[in-house]
Amino acid sequence: MAIRAIRGATTLTADDAREMSEAVVELVTAMMERNGVVRDDLISILFTATPDLHSAFPAASARDLGLVDVPLICAQELDVTGALPRVVRVLMHTETPLARADVHHIYLRGAEVLRQDLAP
């Protein structure tokens, strides 16, 4: 079993706590399902949000998925001129039998433009 990092990102249409929750739950669920990850495989998850998002902590929404014993942390993304607005990024650390090349990184709701080389 190897330790792998799975990347993901999503965007919001507005700085809204409800939309934040829906988008984070959708993203984390897709990351886990697409890579065959179950809760016990998770090591930790790092969430970042662009500086224009401050209505809710992204990690709080992951708790709604039952991830109460997984270490989660939030940080603010760099404020880079011209960067895509209202983005939540995720870096999920997990144990998995997948080879690095077989890991599926998930980009949703317009975030696909961030890493066109990784998004399907």
Instruction: Name the residues annotated as catalytic.
Output: 7, 63, 74, 77, 89, 107, 115
- CA–CA–CA angle 19, 55, 45 (5° rounding): 75
Cα dihedral sign, 113-62-33-40: positive
Q: Residue 40: which of 2, 67, 72, 3 has the closest Cα? A: 67
CB 57 within 8 A of CB 87: no
Helix (H, G, I), strand (E, B) or coil at 8: strand
